[in-house]
Structure formats: C-alpha cells, structure tokens
Amino acid sequence: MYFFVVNLSFLEIWYTSNIVPKMLLIIIAEQKTISVAGCLAQFYFFGSLTAAECLLLGVMSYDRYLAICQPLHYPILMTGSFCIKLAAGSWLCCFLLTSIIMVLLCRLTFCGPNEIDHFFCDFAPLVHLSCIDTSWTETIAFVTSSAVTLVPFFLIIVSYSCILTAILRIPSGTGRKKGFSTCLSHLTVVMVFYGTLIATYLVPSDNSSQLLHKGFSLLYTILTPMFNPIIYSLRNRYINEALKKCLSKKSGFLR
C-alpha cells in the first residue's frame, strides 16, 4: 500500500508544481500572460497527472481488495515487480493518451482575443479560443477522459462492494474495525478527489457558473493534494500519539 502512496505523493508534488507557481504570479505579481507553448505544456502535464491519479486510485482499491478479501494470496499476487508494473502502466498510459489530445490541440487555429477566464490552462477554455470546428477534438478528449476516469471509478466501486461484504462477514467487532480502518484513508481520498472532479465537470459551462467552476477546480487542483498527506498520516500510530500529546498540551495551557 505504501508503495502506491509514495507514487501518489510524488504525483501530487508535480501536480501542484504545475499550477500553483503560475497562479501565484497571476495573483501576487499580476503577471497574467502565458505563451501558447507554455499554456499547452501546462495543460499536458495537468491532464496526464489527473488521469494518472485516477488510475492509481483504482489500482490502490484493487490492492485493498486483495489485502482484505484474499489475505493469504496477497503476498503471491501483489509482488514487488507486479506493483511496479501497475504503477508504471498507470503513468505511461495517461501520458500517452494525453499526447493524443495534445496533437489535436496543436492543430487548432486560435483567434483573438486570446484570454482565458481561468487560473490555469484547462481543456475547455483552450478549445473555446479556436475559430475552427473542434467537434472531433472534443469527441476524442471526451472518450479518452471517460476511459481514464470512469473505468477506475467502477473498479473502485466493485472493489469496495466486495470489501464491505467481506468485512461485514467478520464475526468480531475488533476485526471489522481493523478492516474498516485499513480502507478508510484511501476511501476518504477517493471521495474528496472524485467528488470535486465530478462536481467541476458537471457544472454547465455558461457564464453564470464560471466562478463556481473555478472554485471546484481550485479544490481538486490545490486543496485535495494538500489534505491527502494529512489523511494518510493519521493512520500512522506515531503521528497519532504525537498529535494527541500536542493537543493535550494545548488544552492544558488553555486551562
């Protein structure tokens, strides 16, 4: 499990590093210009890393399924080499699929005014700047994005349905509690990430909802990666003990 958590953490470092520095320049230094090449590069890494996170979350749900539903076979099935192949496949697949969309975007003709009403270069604002027919580009983007988001999402649903069934069959309350605690961190991350992602792209793209769209985008691009390390760290016994000591000292000081 921690091998995939390391991959997820590494991914989110690049995820935020791709968006936050330019966003801070826009807000603080008011440098609101970006080159076409820079904008396309930002979208490429944003799309690739978002898709890779979806696949990694799906792989992690499969890992939890094997750990709880087939614990005796777990060391045999989830070997080190197999984990590396799953992680590498997730990264490679997403970067290759996003490359297809990038090729289609680079073939578009952009007309003025070249202004994006967003804090980063997302697909929809870029396509709206084009003055030629973009239906084929949008169709390919829809198919690829649906594949890398919905397939892992259904895998997560199936995995956790099996996990829930297996946990409820455990006779002891201690065993059920241990089973739920094993999955709680990952399930929380999945709910936060997919919840904000779905809310962002289900919002209609009219002018009145543009502010709401940007607000949801801010959640899953910046706040979610910030909270994920905290969510996973709370499973660590030493961090929990240190947190309890810190809170007890503060409560004693307040008294």
CATH of the domain at 76: 1.20.1070.10
Give CA–CA dist 164/169, Å, rounded.
9
| Residue type present at position 8 | L
Domains in the chain, number? 1
Please check the confidence at residue 111 and state whether its pLDDT lies above 70. yes
**Is the distance from CB of 130 to CB of 120 less than 8 angstroms?**
no
What is the chain's percent helix, strand, coil content, to nearest 5? 80, 0, 20
- CB neighbours of residue 75 within 10 Å: 9
Structure tokens given for 103: 């090729």
Is pLDDT larger for residue 101 or for residue 215?
A: 101
Q: In this prediction, what percent of the chain has a pLDDT beyond 90?
A: 17
3-state class (DSSP) for residue 110:
strand
H or E stretch covering 199: helix 173-202
For residue 218, give its domain range: 1-252
Helices of type H across the chain: 2-24, 36-69, 74-77, 80-106, 123-128, 135-168, 173-202, 210-218, 224-233, 237-254
Give CA–CA dist 60/154, Å, rounded.
13
Which stretch of 31-35, 119-123, 218-222, 247-251 has the lowest confidence by average pLDDT?
247-251
**Is the distance from CB of 190 to CB of 152 less than 8 angstroms?**
no
Q: Which residue(s) pair with 110 in the sheet?
A: 130
Among the listed residues 199, 221, 240, the one whose alpha carbon sits nearest the alpha carbon of residue 42 = 221
Is pLDDT larger for residue 172 or for residue 63?
A: 63
User: What pTM value is reported for the model?
Assistant: 0.84
pLDDT of residue 48: 92
Give CA–CA dist 56/152, Å, rounded.
8
pLDDT of residue 44: 93
Q: In this prediction, what percent of the chain has a pLDDT beyond 70?
A: 89
pLDDT of residue 204: 56
Which stretch of 77-86, 158-167, 233-242 has the lowest confidence by average pLDDT?
233-242
pLDDT of residue 254: 47
pLDDT tens for residues 21-50?
A: 888 888 787 778 888 888 889 999 999 998
State the average pLDDT over residues 141-145.
88
**At which residue do the structure tokens 């005796």 appear?**
72
Is pLDDT larger for residue 235 or for residue 198?
A: 198
Please check the confidence at residue 173 and state whether its pLDDT lies above 50. yes
Beta strands in the chain (DSSP E): none
Give CA–CA dist 231/8, Å, rounded.
13
Which stretch of 118-122, 129-133, 147-151, 196-200 has the lowest confidence by average pLDDT?
196-200
Is pLDDT larger for residue 112 or for residue 71?
A: 71
pLDDT of residue 217: 77
User: Residue 46: is it exposed, middle or buried by C-beta count within 10 angstroms (0-12/13-18/19+)?
Assistant: buried
Structure tokens given for 138: 């949008």
Task: Name the average pLDDT for the chain.
Answer: 82
pLDDT tens for residues 180-222?
A: 777 777 888 888 888 877 777 665 555 556 677 777 777 777 7
